[in-house]
Amino acid sequence: MDLTTGKPLWPHIGGEIKPYPQLEKDIACEVLVIGSGMSGAMSAYMLTKAGFDTVLVDSREIAGGSTMANTGLIQFFNDKTLTSCIHTYGEENGVAFYKLCEEAVRKLGRICEEEGIDAQFQPRESLYLASNEADLPMLEEEYRTLSRYGFKVKYLNPGDITDKFPFTKPGAILASGDAAINPYACVNGLIDVSAARGMRVYARTEIDSRLETEGGSVFYTKERRRIRAKYAVYSTGYETQEMKRNRNAKLLASYAIASQPLGEFPGWYKECMIWETARPYLYMRTTADGRVIVGGEDEDMLSGEERINRLAVKKDILLDKARALFPELDLQAEFAWAAVFGETHDGYPLIGAQDGFPNSVFSLVYGGNGTVYSVLGAEMIVNRLKGLKHPGDRLFRFDRPRHTPPAKRLQHISQEKISAS
């Protein structure tokens, strides 16, 4: 699958990336992690730290998949609002999801700090704008829900917004506890730290097939090298859909641009991250080297070639939308990229075991908060291997029940009553 096209920002800025070799002999390990994106890197990091003899492989260069396209917004606030999660899954489950995400943001910051990873982790507030008047009741309800469960949020009315920004909107939620990051530097840092602890890392090493044996599996690479592993972690990203399609997963095309370094952002309150209630949503953030990243314009899945053709148009749309919000900024698109983006219909990532894959776990961190889900997935996997439970086991498992929102159920019942009478 052509995951990323165009010119993504991260590989072109920042320091030198350590190269890793291709696998050239048969090896054995306790845990094989397949995929070196955010999900695989985080799992491999936590597994190595917990003392598991871990091997990490990737068919591409390290972090050469979707993680290269990641715009690095780290948020507890999900694409599916807390109110909507509660409607779909019930109060306990919905609130647990948001609390797990909130803690995962903090945990990511702690890891970067403790391990000395220069991932430009910067605590940031997030501004969630009502895109139009019609979305205001939903936004207000979400504010009340977040406040009720102790999340640090403020409500901004149009006057508050114009005090802080050069634009106005019908309303907004300002949330604390989020962060911005360079995801590519983070992944490379996690892998370097783990390699220094003894983890073996192989780039350009594609797992092609697998044979189940007593006490584990033998994985074959495309070059017919064998990796014998007691346990495997599939952190194979959106390409997993080509291997084992999941009906809850949906693949889209998404677009992003990064400006030239600007340095200063007049009228941009605390350089907070910005997104909105419209779907697909526009989002913006600033980077540690003074650029503005703008993303969005999601549409149905396209081939890499089709995405490249659309990129010129999408780049201009993103620029126009960002300039409309910040007319004083001299925004040019120095980088522009298009990528596959995956989400689930029910809004939660898919993390757990799947039929037909014994001694294995999948960490498919689909959704706009893939980085946060990667932290949760990694914790769940380490716990699983240690025989411990994790609250995410129940929430994110592949065979979770399909829920109908209560409002819809009630509507359905009343319609049944009407038709019965």
Ligand X SMILES: Cc1cc2nc3c(=O)[nH]c(=O)nc-3n(C[C@H](O)[C@H](O)[C@H](O)COP(=O)(O)OP(=O)(O)OC[C@H]3O[C@@H](n4cnc5c(N)ncnc54)[C@H](O)[C@@H]3O)c2cc1C
**Is 112 a residue that touches ligand X (CB under 6 A)?**
no
Beta carbon of residue 376, minimum distance to ligand X (angstroms, whole number):
12
**Is 188 a residue that touches ligand X (CB under 6 A)?**
no
Q: Smaller CB distance to ligand X: residue 60 or 230?
A: 60
Figure out which of the listed residues 237, 347, 352, 392 binds ligand X, where binding follows CB under 6 A. Answer: 237
- What is the C-alpha to C-alpha distance for residues 177 and 124, in angstroms, rounded to an integer? 7
**Is 178 a residue that touches ligand X (CB under 6 A)?**
no
> Which of 124, 121, 75, 131 shows the shortest CA–CA distance to 269?
124
- What is the C-alpha to C-alpha distance for residues 259 and 234, in angstroms, rounded to an integer? 34
Q: Smaller CB distance to ligand X: residue 55 or 87?
A: 55
Figure out which of the listed residues 73, 233, 258, 302 binds ligand X, where binding follows CB under 6 A. Answer: 73
Neighbouring-strand partners of residue 34: 57, 234
Beta carbon of residue 67, minimum distance to ligand X (angstroms, whole number):
3
**Is 2 a residue that touches ligand X (CB under 6 A)?**
no
**Is 126 a residue that touches ligand X (CB under 6 A)?**
no
Q: Which of the residues 309 through 348 are near ligand X (CB under 6 A)?
A: 339, 341
CB 295 within 8 A of CB 341: no
**Is 352 a residue that touches ligand X (CB under 6 A)?**
no
The residue type at 117: I
99 phi and psi, to 5 degrees? -65, -40
- Angle (deg, nearest 10), helices 38-49 and 370-385: 30
**Is 295 a residue that touches ligand X (CB under 6 A)?**
yes
**Is 177 a residue that touches ligand X (CB under 6 A)?**
no
Q: Per-residue x/- mask for ligand X, residues 132 to 171, rule CB under 6 A?
A: ----------------------------------------
Beta carbon of residue 29, minimum distance to ligand X (angstroms, whole number):
15
What tokens does 85 get?
């999660």
**Is 239 a residue that touches ligand X (CB under 6 A)?**
yes
CB 151 within 8 A of CB 133: no
Burial 78-109, CB ≥16 within 10 A → b, else e: bbbbbbbbbbbbeeebbbbbbbbbbbbbebbb
Beta-carbon contacts of 403 under 8 Å, excluding residues fewer than 6 positions away, are: 88, 89, 346
Number of residues that bind ligand X (CB under 6 A): 38
Q: Smaller CB distance to ligand X: residue 59 or 344?
A: 59
Beta carbon of residue 283, minimum distance to ligand X (angstroms, whole number):
7
Q: Which of the residues 353 through 412 are near ligand X (CB under 6 A)?
A: 365, 368-372
**Is 258 a residue that touches ligand X (CB under 6 A)?**
no
Figure out which of the listed residues 53, 140, 206, 299 binds ligand X, where binding follows CB under 6 A. Answer: 206
Interacting span for ligand X (CB under 6 A) from 127-135, 232-240, 315-323, 396-404: 232-240
CB 196 within 8 A of CB 141: no
What tokens does 201 get?
């890392």
Q: Smaller CB distance to ligand X: residue 151 or 281?
A: 281
Q: Per-residue x/- mask for ligand X, residues 32 to 51, rule CB under 6 A?
A: --xxxxxxx-----------
Beta carbon of residue 374, minimum distance to ligand X (angstroms, whole number):
6
Figure out which of the listed residues 182, 254, 259, 286 binds ligand X, where binding follows CB under 6 A. Answer: 254
**Is 277 a residue that touches ligand X (CB under 6 A)?**
no
Neighbouring-strand partners of residue 27: 227
Q: Which residues bind ligand X (CB under 6 A)?
A: 3, 34-40, 57-60, 64-67, 69-73, 206-207, 235-237, 239, 254, 256, 295, 339, 341, 365, 368-372
